[in-house]
Structure 1
Amino acid sequence: MSLIMSLMLFFSNINPAEALPSLIQKGKASFYSKKFNGRKTAYGERVSSESLEGAHLHLPLNTLVEVTNLDNQRSVIVRINDRGPFAKGRVIDLTLAAAHALGMVSKGIANVSLRVVGKGQAIAMSPSAFTTPIAFQPMLEPVM
């Protein structure tokens, strides 16, 4: 059922984060290797292994997503700031900090569920605006 809703949202002009704040998707998660640390994301930021961020193919950038490891029920909220994963069968790529929070580092991949919980405010891109992950905290607003 969630696959059908995801496809309907993908092919429509409706923003998924605004249309269904609790959209749920299940699949496999992986995390960025160390070689991606410092590279630019699709949002123009630098990948930081210490931030709680992730990559999703279709969700709008700056969407807040609760990721739950279905094997141990640990959850973390990440902000989508990149596109991917591009490996078959994966629904999200996470930073190392998010993978640690989910307890999936030793296995490398995990069965997860994704639930959209909010979105960040629109922000102007500038190199100095993203020096630390703390800079994002005032910009987050819940969507209910």
Structure 2
Amino acid sequence: MIIKGITAQITRTITEEDTAEKVKSGSLPVLATPVLSAAMEKAACKALAPFLSGHETTVGGSISLIHKAPTLPGHTITVTATVTEVRGKKISFHITASDENGDIGEADHDRFLVDSVKFMEKAEKRNERRE
């Protein structure tokens, strides 16, 4: 059962490929905000993984991220996701991120429980209407 307080942590060493310059989200060789966002979602998914069964998965619904400080390639980030609320299929998180020099960001993030088979069927039907 998914409950408030569940946490998970990931670490990741930043490479040149993770920079704003490389992912085209900016012009500087520092950790790109979209890469930080993806790491935050990964931590949230890790927190929920032990509680999912069968075709159950989660999808991201929203993320409100504050990127506070730059991280250079070669440094390691640590991202911690904590469940703050569970309301039906909606699971809310507060996520923090740091590197060796301190706090680099935080986010509030919502994910939703879905049946992966049904979700993909809906996605395919939606695509068929456009063709």
| TM-score calculated relative to the size of structure 2 | 0.29
Higher-helix-fraction structure = 2
Higher-strand-fraction structure = 2
